[in-house]
Amino acid sequence: MARILLTGFEPFGGDTVNPSGDAVALVADAWTGPDELVTATLPVSFRGAAEQMNALLDRHSPDIVIATGLAGGRSAVTPERVAINLADARIPDNDGAQPVDQESVPGGPPAAFATLPVKAIAGAIRDAGIPAEVSYSAGTYVCNHVFAHVMQWADAAPGRRGGFIHVPYATGQGSQNAPELPLEDIARALRIAVRISVDRSVDIHVTGGAIS
Ligand code: PCA
């Protein structure tokens, strides 16, 4: 039996809702096991989110961590392939902090790959009729920052795996004609991501990648 930590985020940047936190709550409500699921909603704060994530990792010692957040404007559920060690905030976080060109993990490597089977996850979500694709940039804001911390933890000991999934706005929540998905589909996609991550530690060998 695996223990999975699944997190979402609070609203930020003028939004009153964040589909990542809402979808994680739906997954938690309907979870039937047998694997153990721990969920949390993180603050959109560089300092607070990293501190809370590190505390959750210490407290629960999960086998697998899947952190999730909103990428408003994306039309698909996007498992992220790589975390970069860079915090460069276009807007202040919810605490008013706005780091520029700082390392997320001081002294850490410039980048770290997710150790979730991102191609298999994207494929399985698409098979369920929900748009999904692997992404090669989680940005340089709080999501990437948390992702970098998750990967520092995951890469520090054998048997730990981690990654990040960005989700679109949920229906009725997108601003300025931004693409949206039903919240229940986002939750379904996250359930699939958990299942695939538990079932396979090695990704499928299929072509992928992006030109830009
Ligand atoms: N999305 C932001 C931070 C919190 C969230 O849900 C991001 O992509 O960095």
Roughly how many angstroms between the first and final C-alpha of the chain, as a whole number? 39
> Which listed CATH number (3.60.15.10, 3.40.630.20, 3.40.50.10470, 3.30.300.30) goes with 3-199?
3.40.630.20
Instruction: Say how far apart CA 211 and CA 156 lie, in whole Å.
Output: 31
C-alpha of residue 38 to centroid of ligand 1, in Å: 20
For residue 42, give the ligand 1 atom closest to its CA: 4
C-alpha of residue 1 to centroid of ligand 1, in Å: 30
To the question of pTM greater than 0.95 for the whole model, the response is yes
Instruction: Say how far apart CA 143 and CA 87 lie, in whole Å.
Output: 10
Written as one letter, the residue type at 179 is: P
Contacts of 96 (CB under 8 A, 6+ apart): none
Q: What is the pLDDT of residue 176?
A: 75
| Beta pairing partners, 64 | 4, 161
- Contacts of 94-100 with CB under 8 Å at 24 or more apart are 94/10, 94/12, 94/43, 94/44, 94/45, 95/43, 95/45, 95/46, 95/47, 95/48, 97/45, 97/46, 97/47, 99/46
Q: What is the pLDDT of residue 60?
A: 98
Residues with CB under 6 A from ligand 1: 9, 12, 18, 20, 44, 69-71, 139, 141-143
CB 28 within 8 A of CB 39: yes
Residue of the nearest CA to atom 9 in ligand 1?
Answer: 143
Please, what are the averages of pLDDT over each run of 10 residues along the chain (212 residues)?
98 95 98 96 98 98 98 97 98 98 98 98 98 98 98 97 98 87 98 98 94 85
Report residue 61 as tokens.
Answer: 């010692």
Q: What is the pLDDT of residue 174?
A: 81
The domain limits of the chain are: 3-199
Mutate to test the pocket of ligand 1, among 88, 142, 190 (most ligand atoms within 8 A of CB): 142
Instruction: Say how far apart CA 3 and CA 121 lie, in whole Å.
Output: 18
- Which among 135, 205, 197 has a CA at the least distance from the CA of 166? 135
Instruction: Tell me the catalytic residues.
Output: 80, 143, 166
